[in-house]
Amino acid sequence: MMNKHLQLSRSRTILFRNIFLYVFLTIASITCILPLLWMISTSLKSGNIIFDIPPKWLPDGFHFENYVKAVVDISYFRYFLNTAIITGFRIFAEVFVSSLVAFGFAKFSFPGKNIWFFILLSTIMLPGEVMLIPIFQMFSTLGWVNTFLPLIVPAFFGGQAVFIFLLRQFFMSQPEELMEAATIDGATKLGIFYKIYLPISKPALITVGIFSFQGSWNDLMGPLIYLNDSEKFTLQLGLAMFNGVTKVQWGPLMAASILTLVPVLIVFFFAQKYFTEGISFSAIKG
Amino acid sequence: MKKFMNKYEGFFFILPWVLGFILFTFIPLISALYLGFTDSNSITTPKFIGFKNYINLFHDNEFISSLVVTVKYAIFAIPLGILSSMTLATLLNSKIKGVYLFRTILYLPAVASGVSISLLWRWILDKNLGLLNLILSKVGIDGPGWLSEPNWVLPSYVLIALWGAGGGMLTYLAGLQDVPRSLYESAEIDGAGWFKKFIKITVPMLSPVIFYNVIMGLVGSFRKFSDAYIIGGAGNQGRFYMIYLYENAFNYFKMGYATAMAWILFLIILALSLLTFKSSSLWVFYNSSDKGKGKKQGLLHRKQKKDGNTQ
């Protein structure tokens, strides 16, 4: 009798707790999504109703001409292509070179290794801003300003220290026998790296690739500093330049913003797992 | 020769990075050290002027203002961000239906980033045409000019940071999976309520993650550039440290001056990190036992079972 009463009150607390949870989480979710819905709504509004006071929640029909305008006025395709070229090279270089370097740190012993590794770790904490101006002057002496080279070439020299660190941890966790067995079979170290370690490291490589993609796709400061010619702009820079004009046309601008955001969202939805694993890795082990 | 090759084989693997370190870190670092002591302005040949840049900076009101804006932002955005991310993570750590959907939605703002989102916020925060004041007007509040009134610029930036709290949430969720359930169960037997459990178990167990987020938040505030570049704000209240550095370097071409700013940025980040690190022994609790490995759930999705029973 007593027991039954206790159980009843307990299940009632759980019920109340769950109702509270759902209400709270629903409000939080709406808060997260509403700005994005507003973005879509604005991108479909006609030029007139955007300046209505008070603003309208919903668009007056579907004004896809904003998207056409975005593509034409902001030269979306040109910027997309530029961004894709830079991002493509950077992902390839950062994934490949940082895994090569990580392999060297994980599976070999050579004189000076610990010192180099210590230097690698210290560069993680070093803000890149300190080197920003000397590197700019260096590229400018080379005549590389207003080309993609300053944005691409550094990636071929190891990419980011965090990527190397992350991949090193991954290689270290692989069994030592793998390396030994392949060495006995007479494979070269480079061959072992390429034929055995790269294929089994796919998840880690994808994680690094995604962070490289996100960093490169969203980079504003690099293109802002190095690219002057509007023909060479990336999407982020193109959008930023449109922000500067005196009378902002919010409809086309929001349409262009959506078109710029969509590739990132697509990558996220297809590679969620790798995204989250990378984040929990850096927070727990980092 | 062959012996040498064998001994140094690993070095050839790390060679690209070693070269990169020399070219893009070591040499620039040395030249930055010198550059900070010159009046380099890309018109006249640079002259060595000793500590003059550093002395001038502390008499430069705009520099002080950018520093104050950045520090104020950090003071509000970091603790509020940690609190909201941790609250969300705690709530989402329960086994209710649809929890993965909620996690994905709440994480979405952290993924949606770049100039697009900064532009969106400029638009949402518009005094007359923006979404935020539209919502406020529905509950009878006459919203301020978020970006056009100097006093409301800082709250705007904090608000934007809180919208992205889902990014931090994920790090706490990952941390929570390492907290043994038995701790909560024995606390419940002792009659502890949710608040007590949160303060006595969740916070200490998550302290390493909090530590990580404090450091990242500090570094992030001082490196804040792209959204502040787009969003701006009245009365220079949106002119963060990096914005002023960028303006000096690439608008006024005061390369020496801007480099001196970069060194101060480095020292500030270093000092704050060391301070956080030193104080960590007082409040960060590292759980030494290594339990719960291998039965981790996915964060945004259910992990598929490997035995094929799921089909």
Per-residue confidence (pLDDT) for residue B306, from 0 to 100: 42
Given a cut of 60, whether residue B310 has pLDDT beyond it is: no
Per-residue confidence (pLDDT) for residue B291, from 0 to 100: 44
Flag if A218 and B114 touch (Cβ within 8 Å): yes
Indicate the domain borders of chain A. 2-51, 66-285
Interface with A, mutate which of B14, B38, B277 (most A CBs under 10 A): B14
- Inform me whether the C-beta atom of residue B82 falls under 8 Å from chain A C-beta atoms: no
Per-residue confidence (pLDDT) for residue A126, from 0 to 100: 87
Instruction: Provide the whole-model pTM.
Output: 0.89
Q: What CATH number matches the domain at A66-285, 1.10.3720.10, 3.30.360.10, 3.30.1370.60, 1.10.10.10? A: 1.10.3720.10
Least confident of A15-29, A115-129, A174-188, B29-43: A174-188
Per-residue confidence (pLDDT) for residue A118, from 0 to 100: 93
Flag if B13 and A134 touch (Cβ within 8 Å): no
CB-closest option in B18, B19, B128 to A53: B128
The residues, ordered by sequence, that sit 6+ positions from A191 with a Cβ below 8 Å of its Cβ are: A182
Given a cut of 70, whether residue B109 has pLDDT beyond it is: yes
Summarize pLDDT for B287-308 with one digit per residue, the tens. Answer: 654 444 444 456 666 554 444 3
A92-122 exposure pattern, b = at least 16 Cβ within 10 A, e = fewer:
ebbbbbbbbbbbbbbbbebeeeeebeebbee
Summarize pLDDT for B21-71 with one digit per residue, the tens. Answer: 999 999 999 999 999 999 888 777 888 888 999 999 999 999 999 999 999
Show contacts of B247-255: CB within 8 Å, 24+ apart.
B249/A132, B249/A133, B249/A136, B250/A224, B250/A225, B252/B41, B253/B41, B253/B42, B253/B43, B254/B40, B254/B41, B255/A133, B255/A137, B255/B35, B255/B40, B255/B41, B255/B42
Summarize pLDDT for A218-231 with one digit per residue, the tens. Answer: 999 999 999 999 89
Per-residue confidence (pLDDT) for residue B305, from 0 to 100: 43
**Under DSSP, is residue B38 helix (H, G, I), strand (E, B) or coil?**
strand
Q: What CATH number matches the domain at B31-38+46-109+157-283, 2.40.37.10, 1.10.3720.10, 2.60.40.1080, 3.40.1190.20? A: 1.10.3720.10
Given a cut of 50, whether residue A133 has pLDDT beyond it is: yes
Per-residue confidence (pLDDT) for residue A281, from 0 to 100: 64
Indicate the domain borders of chain B. 31-38+46-109+157-283
Cβ–Cβ under 8 Å, residues A104 and B10: yes
CB-closest option in A103, A109, A133 to B258: A133
**Under DSSP, is residue B48 helix (H, G, I), strand (E, B) or coil?**
strand
Q: pLDDT-derived band of residue B195, with 50, 70 and 90 as boundaries?
A: confident
Percent of chain B beyond pLDDT 70? Answer: 91
Bond into A54 cis (ω within 30): yes
Least confident of A85-94, A192-201, A256-265: A192-201
Given a cut of 70, whether residue A67 has pLDDT beyond it is: yes
Distance CA B161, CA B25 (A): 31
Per-residue confidence (pLDDT) for residue B309, from 0 to 100: 37
Per-residue confidence (pLDDT) for residue B290, from 0 to 100: 47
Query: Phi and psi dihedrals of B117, rounded to 5?
Result: -75, -35
Q: Averaged over A45-61, what is the pLDDT?
A: 76
Per-residue confidence (pLDDT) for residue A17, from 0 to 100: 82
Interface with B, mutate which of A20, A100, A119, A133 (most B CBs under 10 A): A133
Flag if B94 and A21 touch (Cβ within 8 Å): yes
Given a cut of 70, whether residue B136 has pLDDT beyond it is: yes
Given a cut of 50, whether residue B20 has pLDDT beyond it is: yes
Given a cut of 60, whether residue B147 has pLDDT beyond it is: yes
Per-residue confidence (pLDDT) for residue B183, from 0 to 100: 85
Q: pLDDT-derived band of residue B311, with 50, 70 and 90 as boundaries?
A: very low
Cβ–Cβ under 8 Å, residues B191 and B272: no
